[in-house]
Amino acid sequence: MLVAHIGLHHGEEPPISGTHGSGTVFFAGCNLRCVFCQNWQISQMFRQRGVVPMTPHDLAQAMLELQTHQAHNINFVSPSHVVWQMAESIRIARDEGLALPVVYNSGGYDAVEALRAIRGLVEIYMPDIKYMEHEPARRYSGAADYPDIVPGVLEEMYDQVGPLRTDDNGIAMRGMLVRHLVLPGLGENSRKCLQTLARISTKIPVSLMSQYSPQHKARHYPEINRSLTPAEYYELVDYALDLGFETLFTQDISSTDTYLPDFDRENPFEK
């Protein structure tokens, strides 16, 4: 596996980051090619940057090290293309004393068969639902079949772990939380994504993200070469509430730079 960064991360949703931070493992590479990717430095241009090749045993030791630093969980970011090596790493780490819940943090473009094969190894699923319209999925992520794939993926994840459950301190222990990054001008796509989730269960916590800013190649696509307007975002917040979602995480519309990492720094999230 090629690993771009390992460390405590405090910028995830509150049940994931908690007070001590989420023990994140950022894999290099991705099975999507989002033109607006905020992690483009490691998802698409990683051959120009330092990454560390790790065996499953190496990664297991890193996971145990995160546990000693009081991480609330082990959070695998973009694991879809290394799912078998990830699974082996989890097994080794658990045999050697890992007691933290494992978070599978993906773009939602996963193979249902692979998810079924790792049942029992992942306590928390935190996928994206990016598109429920084919043309933007093709145009912006190179995956025209994304809307056909993601409903089955979400159903499998939910079947494995159910809605998110937390301990007495509000820290996630098991379950599913779904993220949706709102893209400018694609309100109907966002509404379809929320409808898809609601059909599975309104008990699924939804993180509705306003942090979009035109990164990477987005400048070449004039229609998304801008930030969201408050009206675009808050209309979707109201729509999610109208659908009956019981838990909704939102962001300040003015915080587009707050969540933007720089993987050329030792700590990508340090401001």
Instruction: Return all residues near 1 (Cβ < 8 A) that are at least 6 apart.
Output: 27, 53, 54, 55, 56, 59, 82, 85, 86, 89
Any domain includes 263: no
Any domain includes 259: no
Q: What is the pLDDT of residue 83?
A: 97
Cα–Cα distance for residue pair 11/136, rounded to 1 Å? 27
Strand 22-27 with 52-53, pairing: unpaired
Cβ atoms of residues 189 and 133 within 8 Å: yes
Average pLDDT of adjacent 10-residue blocks, the chain of 271 residues? 94 96 95 89 68 96 98 97 97 98 98 97 98 98 98 98 97 98 98 98 98 91 95 97 98 74 70 59
Residue 64 region, left (φ>0) first, then alpha (ψ -120 to 50), else beta?
Answer: alpha
Alpha-helical (H) ranges within the chain are: 14-17, 40-43, 56-68, 83-95, 112-117, 134-141, 146-161, 187-200, 230-243
Domain that holds residue 112: 2-249
Q: What is the pLDDT of residue 255?
A: 67
Q: What is the pLDDT of residue 268?
A: 74
Q: What is the pLDDT of residue 244?
A: 98
Q: What is the pLDDT of residue 256?
A: 63
How many other β-carbons are positioned within 10 Å of the β-carbon of residue 188? 11
Cβ atoms of residues 202 and 246 within 8 Å: yes
**Which of 64, 58, 60 has the alpha carbon at shortest distance from 90?**
60
Any domain includes 242: yes
Any domain includes 14: yes
Any domain includes 38: yes
Cα–Cα distance for residue pair 114/83, rounded to 1 Å? 7
Q: What is the pLDDT of residue 69?
A: 97
Instruction: Return all residues near 17 (Cβ < 8 A) that are at least 6 apart.
Output: 9, 10, 11, 72
Q: What is the pLDDT of residue 203?
A: 98
Q: What is the pLDDT of residue 263?
A: 66
Alpha-carbon 188 to chain mean position: 22
CATH number of the domain that 36 lies in?
3.20.20.70
Any domain includes 153: yes
Any domain includes 204: yes
Cβ atoms of residues 74 and 98 within 8 Å: yes
Alpha-carbon 117 to chain mean position: 20
Question: What is the phi/psi pair of residue 232, to 5°?
Answer: -60, -45
Any domain includes 257: no
Cβ atoms of residues 220 and 35 within 8 Å: yes
Report how many domains make up the chain.
Answer: 1
Q: What is the pLDDT of residue 42?
A: 79
**Which of 253, 236, 254 has the alpha carbon at shortest distance from 245?**
236
* Entry pTM: 0.93
